[in-house]
Every structure is written in structure tokens, then in C-alpha cells.
A and B are shown apart, each in its own frame.
Chain A
Amino acid sequence: MRKVYHNIIHIAGNVITVEADNVAYNELAEVTGSRGTSLAQVIRLDRGKVALQVFAGSRGVSTQDQVRFLGREMQVSKSPALLGRVFNGRGAARDHKPDITDSMTDIGTPSVNPAKRVIPKNMIRTNIPMIDVFNTLVESQKLPIFSITGEPYNELLARIALQAEVDVIILGGMGLKHDDYLILKRTLDEQGALSRTVMFIHTAADPVVECLMVPDMSLAVAEAYALAGKRVLCLLSDMTNYANALKEIAITMEQIPANRGYPGDLYSQLAARYEKAVDFDGAGSITILAVTTMPGDDVTHPVPDNTGYITEGQFYLRNGRIEPFGSLSRLKQNVNGRTRSDHRAIMDAMIRLYSEFKSTLEKQSMGFKMSGWDNKLLKYGRRFEKEMMSLAVNIPLEDALDLGWKILADCFDRTEVGIKTELIDEYWGKGE
């Protein structure tokens, strides 16, 4: 029987400090008071004083409450029975079914030895031209969707999840609006994907410490499934809420903030989660797609900024479209050389011309006379936006490439598009 401690000497924010001995760093405890029992986790040891973050928050915790240490770290089940189920940030069922407590595994496992990773080489087809053609998604990639509140990022997540060929989908929701959670769940259900999905949901109404657990829970389960040979797609929404929860605890712990109140280890904390994306040498894979809402649409805000340095590219979702500028899949080179010989050339040429179209638009808005070239660009840009960028377009990669040649041929001469002559000879006028 483990000792019970009563001497809580400090309560602030979601953190309490208790006098106790023989406590391990990162260990779990149960705090029991008049308002019930909550889990808590050790976050600092200082001589006889133990600081814990309380999952349910410190509201109603009294100085006389009981603290009982459990002698273990946070764990989650990796049983196949998780499929089709919904849990909260503590790993407890939130779908009125029994909890699952068999084959438990620690969360926050050590990082994968780089020598046991392989170079990702499988394209994940989404049938969205802005992804497939211009920024191909690759198995084991970690990609955030940079967006702002109000944009249909959860819908985009769900659409990619449904069209991607993967074995298991893990959905981690952090600070989700309850309505968004219900919509996501319904979409997956309607398309028959719920039975291969595990959800860890923290809604905006739940205690903030549980938000901190969601990525680790989701990724621990993803890792267990991937080690069993499954191809796992892990969807996280929204990582900015996660970072804000980190900030909240760090400030309570009186850590010196680095940038805009965020702790100095924000980069390392985010990286530890994103780097779980992996293609194992001799087992399955984890692909991570994570929504990062940019406060004030500012990409230099610490959360999107640090994220961009960690992830293998990013999708900008703005005005309901994936923006060609800034959006990037760093792994596309691994796969787009083997799809079709014109893939890279189309990708580069169309974006370059679209960029010129943008400058022409600027000139036009300032009232300058449009040259012949400008008029060609204007025609091209409008068609590109309508036929390629719109998220309503749902066509396979090959059709999208043909469409690209058609748009180019309709708007320009052969010499104007800056593509290698060899490719022009082969493909010009394709899709007519």
C-alpha cells in the first residue's frame, strides 16, 4: 500500500505542491477531495516538495486533500479493441462504453533511432490537385495545416482521412468545439471509416491538463499499431491549443517565457510529438496531419513558426483553398519523380506562372495598361484558380496533370512556359 500525503502547501493555476518523499519525476498520482478524484502528474521535484499538474484543475482542491502516488507513469491501452472508440485526454471512455485497461503501454516513448528509419517513398493520394500535383503527401510525413479560425480545416482533415489509403486513423482533438467533434465523428461514420478510427478527444470545456495528454496518447497508440505493421494516419486538431496549454502550465510554474509567453522548450516539445511520424524499417508507418491555427493569421507567431521548422512542409488553408505560395511538401521529391515524367515540370511551371499572374494583378489594381503578356497571365491565373485550386475539384493525379497541360496550351505559346523542350514535345496539347 502506498503512502497517502495530506500536506498540500501550494495551489496555483492547475498546479499543486505537496510535501512527500520517494516520488519519481513524471509519476502519476491521484488527488482525492470533496469534489472527487483526479489524476495528477509530477512535473518538478525540489527536495521534499513535489509539484503536480492536476488533470481536473485545482478548483476545489483543499490543503487537506489526499494525494496518493501510483508508482507509474501515464499509460494507454494499445489493444485492437480501441478501434471505433472515443476516449478523453486521460484515456477514459467518453462514449458510454467500458474503459479499456488491457495491454497498457507508456506514453511519451523514447525517440526512434534514425538508423531504423527508411526514406519515405509512398505517395498518399488525396485526389486534391493542390496536394497531389503541387505538394504531394507522402507516407510517414508530418504536415501541419496552417489556417485561421473559421476556415474549413477540420473538413479538409476529414476528407484527406477518408480518401487516403491507410489502415488506421487516430484522431486527437485538442480544445475542439463540441460541435466540431460531432461533425468530425459524423463524417467518419457516414463514410464507414469509424471502425478503423480511434479518437482521443479533448473539448474546449474539458480541463486543460488533459489537452496536454492528447497528442502523447494518440501517438503512443499510433506507434503501437505501426510497430504491429499498420499504416497509421494520425490527425491532430488543433496544435495551437496544445501549445497554449503548455504555456499555461509553464507560466504557472514561473518559468521564464521565451517568446510571447511561450516556454523556451516549445520547439523541443512540439518536435518530440511531430517526430513520432516515421516509416519503420521492417514495420508500419505513422503519418501526421495537424491543424495549427495561426493567431491573427500571423505565420511568425511562435506556434506556427516553430512548427514550420519541425514539420516536413505545410499546407496553408486560406479562403477555403490550399494556397500555392508557402504551401510545401518537403518530401514530394521522394515520390514525384516516379509518378509521371512531366509531374515536376508542370508543378514548377504552373506555380511560377501563377506567381507572375499575382504581380500582374497588382499592376492591374494600380490601373496600369495591360500588355499582351499580362492579358495571357490574367486568363491563365483565373483558370488556374477555378480549375486547380478549388477544393471542390476531386480528380486523380494523372487527370490533374493533363488538365495542367490543357490550361497552359489554352493560355500560352510553347516557348513561353519555361519547360524543357523535350517535355513540351511530348505533352504539349495533352488533355485537348
Chain B
Amino acid sequence: MAEETRKVEKIVGVNGNMITVEYNSRIMQNEVAFARVGDAELKCEVIRVRGKYADLQVFESTNGLKVGDEVVFTGELLSIELGPGLLAQVYDGLQNPLKLLAEHSGFFLQRGIYLRALDRELKWDFTPMAEAGAEVVAGDRIGFVPEGTVKHYIMIPFAWQGTWQLKSVTPAGSYTIDDVMAVAVNDRGEERKVTMTQFWPVKIPISDYREKILPEKTMVTSQRTIDTFFPVAVGGTFCTPGPFGAGKTVLQHAISRHAEADVVVIAACGERAGEVVEILREYPELIDPRTGRSLMDRSIIICNTSSMPVAAREASVYTAVTLAEYYRQMGLNTLLLADSTSRWAQALREMSGRLEEIPGEEAFPAYLESLIASFYERAGLVELRSGDTGSVTICGSVSPAGGNFEEPVTQATLKVVGAFLGLSRERSDARRYPAIHPLDSWSKYPSLAAADQLACAREILRHGSEVNQMMKVIGEEGTAIEDFVTYLKSEFLDYVFLQQNTFDEVDGATGADRQKYMFNKVVDVLKTDFEFKEDKDFARRYFLELRQLFVDSNYMKMESSEFKEQEKLIADKISQCAIGA
């Protein structure tokens, strides 16, 4: 940054991670500044201007800051760098590369150290797509480099305004990210260089597309409860609220591993460091069956865990969604998993408290709802100006205080998402995983299964649950055998289809074809009339045995011979008691 744009002001107050600065020059809302303490410069962001004072949130520990210390303003909004080399990276909420940071400063995250997000020495094979003389606008593609399996387009920076003419385009070859790929001039004679990278302010959506399209295609996650019962669409939004211990993170990890997306951005926002470590250490080893490459190659991890500075936590979800939007611009389907948006909301609450704003419900700021809505609205399936389509799908986990879905973050989220996968304590206590509640959850997106089959399965679940409630009051002996069998069928459906063992190689991921096949089989059982001659103990035992046969088959590879054998056993078992078999 040029020296004349640097404005130096002085601190007049420190309160936790907020500092107050008395200013004499031009100050911009959300402008980035650096507070100097000793040799270190601590990154901060303007969050309020009042009279001649500006309040800034500091992205680091404020220990040691004094009244009178200098704060240097940059004149820029909080931005991240976009370009080839983002995939497989692990960043903190401000796009600091954590692995480099570890080499640089060891075990601990020393404050005031900011490293470049992208490798400046790595060379990329550039293929030009535009020619000198062409007219271009922001977002136009001038060439591409291969990044793993992704065709990474080099684009005119999104921030450029007006029409530009390409003066030169660099020929095909191997270049670093800072090499000039093109030179452009506008009609005022201003000349600018295009490199492989550009900066974009994270809190502003990248909106360079023709139009948004209604998301109608199911995104296969290989989780049976989701894809069949509560599906997610490519470019849709969904949330997974649940009390602690209900399996939110396990579910998110399963989705991140198996979802059919080109790029997955995982934002570990204010959650446990250990969970991120699992991703960091395991993903490089896991193979993505769709590409044959390591899972890490399609992932970007934004990691601002709970003990890292709270202001950077607030920034981390924006950093993550900006990265997802960037890859969407290349015509890719990206999936953003934010775990957990409640921590992000709490970060907002902490700052709001320090600003002494009038609190809303549970002391969350009054603008929480609109912030949550505008975050989820950054998802979507879009038609790009190139004619390609690209999408950002957002899944936010929510950690409601006390597991109570009435709280403000859950309620604000439910208003804006297309699917709600509510995790229940009751199910997780009974070890019925994934603990997605089959009656309370909903989705507005199309399912893998046929509508009539789904309706039949839902009816059994609903009726079975009613019978179960009723049995608690009137007892088993007072329950009609028909109702009792419905209850057994609903339990059967739960055990063999809804429940899924994430930690098993086969059962952990059920692809679309197998899901449809399985669901047909299960619905056939649900629709079959059985003859039990009023003997409930016999009926129970029969269903336990049938369930066991199905569960065993869930652990078998579909093409294996044992699976075929198992199917015969199942068919025999069904014909034992089926009427008309």
C-alpha cells in the first residue's frame, strides 16, 4: 500500500478485543487497520464510527496495548486473495495459511504474523483463451490453468469497473501467480495488469452472473435419510441444528466426504480444534471415488476454532463463502459446510455487547436475522455470463443453547433455508444415528425416491410413532395387532434404512442407485400384509430377524456374491409370513 494512504491514529480505549481510536482523517466502515504493539501489528476492522471516535474489533489478543499506541489504517476493506493454489489449503479465518504458519512460528499461533495465502513460487501451466484487442469486463475469462482436476479460469478482477480492451495476452507457458497474464486499457487510457490473483472483500457477494436459477436437482450426499427423505438441492441451503452430542459434526464430515460436489469448503467456525485435526490428517489419505484423487484436493478448510480470536471467527464464514463463490464462477458446484453458525452469531453478540448496543432476544443483536439471511442468500444455482452454470450450496450447522430450537439463531436460520435436518437428543441417546428426526425435519427439494413410495414410508413412520405413544398409555396388550405391526414396520424402516453407520466403509455411503434399489425393497416390506395370528411376541421376533438380515446386507458390497445370497435369505424370510406369498 502506498505511504500517503496510510493514516496513523491513536488508541484511546481498550475493552477486551475492541479498541477505540480517536481519528482526524477519513475513516471507512469495515476498513482494515493495524494496531502496533511492540514489533507486532495486530489486524483490526472498523465496526462503528461515533463522533470523532471509531471502534475497531481486533482479530488478535489485545494484551499489552496502551492508550496512545498507534493504529495504521489501510483504506481497504477486509479482503482475501483469490487465485490458483487455494484447493487443499488450510487457512484461519483471515486466510492465513496454517501449515506455513506452523513452519514459521512453531506450536502456537503467535499474534501479528500474516503470511501470504498463495504460493508465489509455484508455477502453473497457463493456456490463454482471449486475444489482444478483445473487449472485456470484470469476470471475463482470459485463460486457465489446471488445478488438480479443476479447470481454474484466470478472470478479469471482479472489482474492475467499465469496459476494458486487452492490450496483450501472455502466450501459453508456465508462470507464477504474480506474473502478468494480460494487460488491459480502458477508454480513459488507464492501463492495468492482470495476474493470476485478485483480491475481493469478503463481506460483499461476488455477483458476476446472468441470473439465479431455481435449484431443482438433488445433491447426492450418500446419506440415506437425507437423499431419500430430506434431500438437498445443488445450489440450495440447509441447516442441521441439534443439541451437543447429537452428531452434527459427524454428519457434516460424512456429507463433506461423500457429497457430489466439485469443491468443498469447510468452515470450522468456533468449534473444536480436534475435529479439524481429523480432517487435516485424514483427508489427504482418503480417496475421492469420483476423481480417484485425495479428498483434500477438492477441499479448502477454513479453521477458526473456539480458542482462536473471536473477531476472526466472525470473518471466517465470509472468507469461506467468498472462496465458494469464486470457484462457482468457474462453472463448478461448490459446497460450503459451516460448523457452526451459532458460534458466528455468538461472535456477533460478543462484539455487540462491547459496543453496548441495545440487545435483542437472548442478547443477540437486533440485526442478527438479516445477517443470517444475507449469508444464506449467497448460496444459489446461477447461470454465468459464459453460459455455464455454477452453484454454491450452503449447509450450516446450528448449536442451539440448551438444544432448544426456539432460540433466535435457529429460528432466523429456519426462515431462509430450503431444508431442515433437525437432530434430536432422543434419537442420539438411543444410538439411532444419524439422529435426524424423521418426523420433525422437512425439505423443499426433490427426493431420489418416487413420491408415492415416500408418502407410504412417511405414513408408516407417522402412524408407527403414534402407536408407540399410545402403547405407552394403554399397554401392548391393549393394542390391536394391525397397529402393532405398523409400529414394528416403522421400527424396521428406521433400523434398516434411516440408521446408517458412518464409520463403516460400505454402510457409510449409499450411492443414488443403491439407495433407490434399497428403498424399493424396504417399501415392498412396508406394503406387504403379514399373518401373525394375533401373536405379538412372534411378530416382534419375526421383524427382529428380518431386520437383522437387512442390516447385515447393508454392510455387504452390492456386487458381491454374499449380497446375492443375503437377498435370497431375505426373500425366504418375507415369504414365511407374507399373505399371498
Contact = CB atoms under 8 A, between A and B. Distances in A.
Interface of A: 21-27, 44-48, 73, 108-120, 140, 227, 255-259, 263-265, 267-268, 271-272, 274-276, 278, 280, 283, 299-300, 302, 305-306, 308-310, 312-314, 325-326, 328, 330-331, 333, 337, 348, 351-352, 355, 359, 362-363, 366, 368-369, 371-374, 415-416, 418, 420-421
Interface residues of B, number: 83
B138 interface: no
Contacts of B277: 114, 117-119
A44 B12 CA distance: 11
Contact of A255 (B353, B429, B477, B503): B353
A369 B310 contact: no
19 contacts: A23-B67, A24-B63, A26-B62, A44-B15, A45-B65, A111-B108, A113-B106, A118-B281, A119-B282, A259-B401, A264-B363, A265-B310, A268-B350, A272-B306, A274-B306, A300-B401, A352-B430, A363-B475, A368-B476
A111 B15 contact: no
Given A111-B307, A418-B547, A326 B98 contact: no
A258 B472 CA distance: 39
Contact of A268 (B90, B98, B306, B352): B306
B278 interface: yes
Nearest to B101: A113
A72 B425 CA distance: 47
Contacts of A372: 537
Nearest to B282: A119
B552 A421 contact: yes
B273 A256 contact: no
A111 B109 CA distance: 6
A312 B272 contact: yes
B205 interface: no
A112 B475 contact: no
B67 A348 contact: no
B190 interface: no
A45 B109 contact: no
B149 interface: no
A357 B140 CA distance: 65
A110 B109 contact: yes
B98 A114 contact: yes
Given A45-B13, A119-B281, A362-B472, A259 B362 contact: yes
Contacts of B61: 110
B67 A359 contact: no
Given A275-B306, A362-B472, A258 B106 contact: no
Contact of A420 (B90, B353, B555): B555
A308 to B, nearest CB: 4
A313 B245 contact: yes
Contacts of A371: 476-477, 536-537
B162 interface: no
Given A22-B67, A117-B274, 6 more contacts: A25-B62, A26-B64, A73-B63, A255-B353, A278-B273, A351-B431
A359 B545 CA distance: 21
Contacts of B401: 259, 300, 302, 305-306
B349 A280 contact: no
Contact of B399 (A22, A309, A330): A309
Pick the 9 closest A-B CB pairs, nearest first. A300-B402, A368-B475, A271-B306, A275-B307, A308-B244, A111-B307, A258-B363, A45-B14, A26-B63
B521 interface: no
Contact of A110 (B110, B244, B306): B110
B133 interface: no
A405 B281 CA distance: 35
A114 B306 contact: no
Nearest to B301: A114
Contacts of B282: 119
Contacts of B90: 114-115
A143 B425 CA distance: 19
Contacts of A306: 401
A272 B61 CA distance: 12
A25 B17 CA distance: 10
Contacts of A108: 63
Interface string B96-127: 00110110011111110000000000000000
Interface in B274-314: 274, 276-278, 280-282, 303, 305-308, 310
B542 to A, nearest CB: 10
A272 B307 contact: yes
A258 B278 CA distance: 32
Given A114-B277, A119-B282, A24 B66 contact: yes
Nearest to B90: A115
Given A24-B63, A264-B349, A328-B245, A112 B13 contact: no
A116 B303 CA distance: 13
A24 B64 contact: yes
B356 interface: yes
A48 B280 CA distance: 46
Given A268-B350, A369-B475, A371-B537, A114 B273 contact: yes
